[in-house]
Amino acid sequence: MSQREFTPKLFELIRSGISREQVGKDILSGLIVGIVALPLAIAFAIASGVGPEKGLITAIIAGLVISVFGGSRIQIGGPTGAFIVIVFGIIQQYGVEGLTIATFMAGFLIMAMGFLRLGRFLQFFPFTLVVGFTSGIAVVIFSTQINDLLGLGIDHVPAAFPDKWLAYARAIGSVNPYACALGAMAILSTLFLGKFIRVIPGSLVAILLTTGIAWYGQWPVDTIGSSFGPISGSIPAPRIYLVDWETIKELIHPALAIALLGAIESLLSAVVADGMIGGRHKPNIELVAQGGANILSAMFGGIPATGAIARTATNAKNGGRTPIAGIIHALVLLAILLVASPLAARIPLATLAGILVVVAWNMSEMHTFVTILRSNRYDVAVLLVTFFLTVFFDLVLAIEMGMVLASFLFMKRMADSLQLKPMLGANLDEDELFESEGGRIPPGVAVFQINGPLFFGAAQRFYDAMNEVGSSYRVLILRMRYVPLVDATGRQRLIEILKEMADRHVLVMFSGVNDVVREEILATGMVREDLIFLNFDLALDAARGELAKVQVKPTKQST
């Protein structure tokens, strides 16, 4: 295990030195990000079905751990909108205690991913799949906010997407105009006021404005305090969970859901951060830190956490370049929790719903979604399957089915890309750099040029094409310069071809193979090394020699 690979970024930067000027910029950026994170942490917690203090605790604990021990310079950790769907569903089925234990288990799973160096493998998630489930999550988040946004007063909103909207339709007569007004003000403030008042985030402007109006005007709307009681201004003592085997079996599915989404989103956020500051994160230690953050978040009563793309981007835009900014952000939230939590209880739920509607819109990636819809049918299929499964079923099923579908479609593309070109007595292509007897293949020699991977998806096509070689040929040359690999199925088909050619007394030669393919050919045990040639010129010379030995009579060839 490489020590450097698992050294947190903060430790590296301290060792190399951080200038006073940069420390000052990081402190200022941390203050701003802390203010930005406040309404989001509260809103995400409430939308997930837990108390607002759990969102703050998660942002504090996870934010601190991810900044201190993570592999990114500017990653900001905490609760995110993507987890709303998963957390809400887990609470509905297993309760808050089940969520906490699942988060605890997920932390160990994410840490294991890091120690097993799986960080780089997560880059193989197709972009269409990520857009599909992200857009699906955005739709689900939006649908969960309608009750509070319109003040419908539904006590128990159904979890299923169609049932939600049926419940909303039945309760449409109980719309609270005050809640609608606050929600609209929150949406407009978040979208537009933040652009004019750059010192204060738009979401915080929305909270200050609407809370002041609702409190001063004594508007009859639900608030955090009226719905959840007073916010605890302290962090509870940590609790260690001793998980037995039965609990593991019961909660492994939700734990895997948390771990998968947490790992994917954290590394996506780290990649975005790299692009903004020109850095390079360490994916494996980032996963280890993310896992530790979720373990500690669960121990202190928090909810799942991951790298937050919006807050990380805010950090980058405000001059943050080291994990010091993330540490300051966590300390700012801690100070707010300890000092100002009674004031937070006055925030209207309609305000938080309005903020989350904007979050959902930003997550939807509408432009990207529409662009993919105009692309090839394979990408569209992965996008729509992932999107609809996320909306109507659950995120884990969406990711699983999306990956399976994307993999099958990729294999089909690769199989279709295999080109088998018969060159029976035809002229050679100019780019082959071969000139001999006018560039013609002599009678008695069949040549097949193979372009593409010879794997299980394409092996049958290869086998069928080789069976077209007639018994009038004495030598078959397989030109494999553009074959990058041969898998076990391809090798088995090759063995079958070699046996059939031997029965027909046709000698098989290979040209232009790379080292990997060469090993697979020799592994068949049916090909001598002297029948594998560096280039086609040498193979053709050898074929002429074989023809001379057996004194092949000219045969009529097609051109």
Residue 21 CA neighbour count, 13 Å, CB half: 0
pTM to 2 decimal places: 0.77
Distance between CA atoms of 82 and 308, rounded to whole angstroms? 10
Q: For the segment 445-458, what is each residue's pLDDT rounded down to a tens digit?
A: 889 889 999 888 88
Which tokens is 211 given? 């809370």
Whole-number average pLDDT of the chain: 88
Q: Which pLDDT value is given to residue 552?
A: 46
DSSP, residue by residue, 72-116: -SS--EE--THHHHHHHHHHHHHHHHHHHHHHHHHHHHHHHHHHT
Confidence label for 416 from pLDDT (cuts 50, 70 and 90)? confident
Closest by Cα among 230, 191, 189, 194 to 213:
189
Token pair of 118 as six digits: 């799986």
Q: Which residue has the higher pLDDT, 171 or 342?
A: 171
Top-confidence residue, 344 or 258: 258
**Mean pLDDT of the region 131-151:** 90
Query: What is the Cα–Cα distance from 31 to 328, expressed in whole angstroms?
Result: 6
Cβ 207 vs Cβ 182: under 8 Å: no
* CATH number 3.30.910.10 given to 419-550: no
Rounded Cα–Cα distance for residues 276 and 375 (Å): 27
pLDDT of residue 556: 47
Q: Does the pLDDT of residue 430 top 50, yes or no?
A: no
Task: Enter the DSSP assignment of 32.
Answer: H
Judged against a pLDDT cut of 60, whether residue 46 lies above it is answered with: yes
Domain boundaries defined on the chain: 20-119+126-214+241-408, 419-550
Using the predicted structure, report yes or no on whether residue 435 has a pLDDT greater than 50. no
- For the stretch 85-129, pLDDT in tens is 899 889 989 999 999 999 999 999 999 999 999 988 776 788 899
Among residues 540, 531, 548, 547, the alpha carbon closest in space to that of 439 is found at: 540
pLDDT of residue 59: 97
**Is residue 325 within 8 Å of residue 69, measured between CB atoms?**
no
Q: Are the C-beta atoms of 87 and 157 separated by less than 8 Å?
A: no
Rounded CA-CA distance 63/50 in Å is 19
- E strand or H helix at 477, and its extent? strand 475-482
Where is mean pLDDT largest: 6-10, 65-69, 150-154, 440-444?
65-69
Q: Report the Cα–Cα distance between both ends of the chain, in Å, rounded.
A: 59
Which residues are registered as beta bridge partners of 532? 510
- When comparing pLDDT for 559 and 339, which is higher? 339
What the block records as the tokens of 366 is 């509408």
In 3D, which of 232, 221, 383, 371 has the Cα closest to residue 300?
232
**pLDDT in the model for residue 119:** 86
Task: Give how far Cα 535 sits from Cα of 389, 469, 479, 482, Å.
Answer: 50, 22, 8, 12
The two tokens of residue 264 are: 């994917």
